[in-house]
């Protein structure tokens, strides 16, 4: 659960409360971002290693959906813009 910290506006001086991720939450967020990069590049062995670290920290992963890039543009769909270099 995020920690709450009191902060003060530099303009008005009014107090406000913001939620700050705990160290454990920050680690999980960093691992999820790392996993996303490995998955995007197709590095399944590294994805499995990150998954093991997420499991060790008790993170429950949702079922994976189809990649967004594959859903947007299938193999038979033409490019909307010409490739770089005027081709």
Q: How far apart are CA 83 and CA 8, in angstroms?
A: 50
Q: How far apart are CA 1 and CA 19, in angstroms?
A: 9
Does the pLDDT value for residue 33 go beyond 90? yes
Per-residue pLDDT, 70 = 46
Does the pLDDT value for residue 30 go beyond 80? yes
Per-residue pLDDT, 44 = 94
User: What pTM did the predictor assign?
Assistant: 0.56
Q: What are the boundaries of each domain within the chain?
A: 22-59
Q: Label residue 35 exposed, middle or buried (CB < 10 Å: 0-12, 13-18, 19+).
A: buried
Per-residue pLDDT, 75 = 64
Residues 39-84 have pLDDT tens digits of 999 999 999 999 999 999 998 877 764 444 444 555 666 667 777 7
Residue that has been written with the tokens 């910290």 in this structure: 5
Task: Calculate ∠ Cα 59-1-12, nearest 5°.
Answer: 140
């Amino acid at each position: 659960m995020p920690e709450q910290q009191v902060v003060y506006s530099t303009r008005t001086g009014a107090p406000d409360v913001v939620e700050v991720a705990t160290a454990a939450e920050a680690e999980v967020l960093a691992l999820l971002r790392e996993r996303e990069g490995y998955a995007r590049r197709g590095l399944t062995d590294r994805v499995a290693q990150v998954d093991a670290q997420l499991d060790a920290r008790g993170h429950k992963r949702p079922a994976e959906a189809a990649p967004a890039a594959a859903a947007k543009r299938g193999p038979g769909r033409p490019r909307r813009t010409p490739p770089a270099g005027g081709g």
